[in-house]
Amino acid sequence: MLYRSLNKKSELVDFEKAIKLGLASDGGLFFPNTISHINKDFIESIENYSNIEIAYQVLKQFVGNTISELDLKNILKNTIDFDFPLVQLEENIFSLELYHGPTLAFKDVGARFMANCLGYYNQNMSKLTTVLVATSGDTGAAVANGFLGVKGTKVVILYPKNKVSEIQERQLTTNKKNITALRVKGTFDDCQKMVKKAFNDKELNDKFNLTSANSINVARWLPQSLYYFYAYKKLKIKNLVFSIPSGNFGNICAGIIAKELGLPIKHFIASTNINDTIPRYFKNGVLEPNKTIATISNAMDVSNPSNFIRILEVFKNFKNLKKNMSSYSFNDNETLDLIKKIYNSKQYVLDPHGAVGLLGLNKYLKINSKNTGVFLETAHPIKFSKHIEKCLGIKLNTPNKIKKILDNKKEFIDIDNYEKFKKTLLNFG
């Protein structure tokens, strides 16, 4: 398997080089040069296979010969050691819970897979790899946990000041060891711009082995396709649609890759908060980001989603895109109203991101009622307890994984521009 740059001005690279570079030399995102269907018989009998076996079949072509079969299976065992429950809320509506990993968010699979792969590639290297990651909350936590103590790596997390929840900030700032947190005065988009600018900064690249652990990195993004296979394994039904809470659009893009691999998915719904760049694009065909607005579903506070270009690469034209995908946006009041409605009727607690996903699914099913829908619950509700407890008038139970960090001291460096960011990195050297 080789990867090409979507800017089309860079050389083809293998999986190992794509991970280590993060972005292509021309600044473009890497994309698989070819995608081959998985054996049809395997998909038709998918319920007979373990999650590890499914993961191997899905990911082996993307890794190619850069990791042996035995080592890849060991990496997957270290990555996927928790469940992905599917909870039925209505006859044709299911919640796919992706928050049962170590940091209680869907990003755990991609972060752990990337960390294990990079650790494998770096085991005989003397020079550190510096991993840069911009986060709106959960990405940084998952990356910090996945890379904590991994040999040959140093992780630098950029997160927006006052725009992540208290629990998310503690997950970002209490790790120590090889993890450093930078608190940025600005939005997630500002953090992401700094990371991308660093990859084009000759001085930094001459001094460091830089890579990114955002979903722009193929090793973070591609493993998320597994969620769709695991849901299909449990349902095995036709007319299956997925609604994905979408911020940087990595998760939904991974679902589209699952379909490209042969998984029978009928349609995708990209559900966003009021940062509605993509829903507006579906209406008028103009990709025009607005200023990012803070919401209670903060992991989706993204106005310029990096991965949307990968989706356009798959579907080629606007007509084909609209045939396979819809996109809707919802505000905080609609999100909280649905959280309350579902709790009162089902005694089921949604997090704000999952609620946006369900809102999108409900809207789609109103005019496509013969389909069965799955929405992705991407983070544990405890991470957003401030809003949920006020909305529902209840006290959420705090998982032990969170209790362990509540008394830990937060450590971070304040950053307000790229020059300060670059100076901080150079001082690490």
Active site residue 340: no
DSSP-derived pairing of the beta strands 372-377 and 93-97: parallel
Residue identified by tokens 């990337």 is 114
pLDDT means per 10 residues, the chain with 429 residues, are: 95 95 91 96 97 98 97 97 96 97 93 92 82 87 90 92 91 93 93 91 91 89 97 95 96 97 98 98 94 92 94 96 97 98 98 98 96 97 94 94 90 96 89
> 208: which residues sit within 8 A by CB, 6+ positions away?
128, 130, 425, 429
Look at residue 353 in the predicted model and tell me its pLDDT: 97
Which two tokens mark 250? 């990595």
Q: Is 28 helix (H, G, I), strand (E, B) or coil?
A: coil
246-258 burial: b if 16+ Cβ within 10 Å, else e = bbbbbbbbbbbbb
Look at residue 14 in the predicted model and tell me its pLDDT: 97
- Residue 248 amino acid letter: N
Question: How many CA atoms within 13 Å lie on the side-chain side of 393?
Answer: 3
Give the CATH fold of the 82-105+221-397 domain: Rossmann fold (3.40.50)
Which neighbouring-strand residues pair with 133?
Answer: 157
Span between the terminal Cα atoms of the chain, in Å? 34
Q: Distance (Å, rounded) from C-alpha 117 to C-alpha 222?
A: 13
Look at residue 122 in the predicted model and tell me its pLDDT: 85
> 52: which residues sit within 8 A by CB, 6+ positions away?
73, 76, 77, 80
Look at residue 401 in the predicted model and tell me its pLDDT: 87
Instruction: Quote the radius of gyration of the chain (alpha carbons, Å).
Output: 20
User: Which residue of the set 20, 107, 154, 383 is catalytic?
Assistant: 107
| Of residues 173, 214, 169, 178, the one with CA closest to residue 196 | 214
This prediction has a pTM of 0.91
Look at residue 172 in the predicted model and tell me its pLDDT: 93
Domain limits of the chain?
Answer: 82-105+221-397
Look at residue 429 in the predicted model and tell me its pLDDT: 64
Whether 56 and 225 have beta carbons less than 8 Å apart is answered as: no
DSSP-derived pairing of the beta strands 267-272 and 93-97: unpaired
DSSP-derived pairing of the beta strands 129-134 and 325-329: unpaired
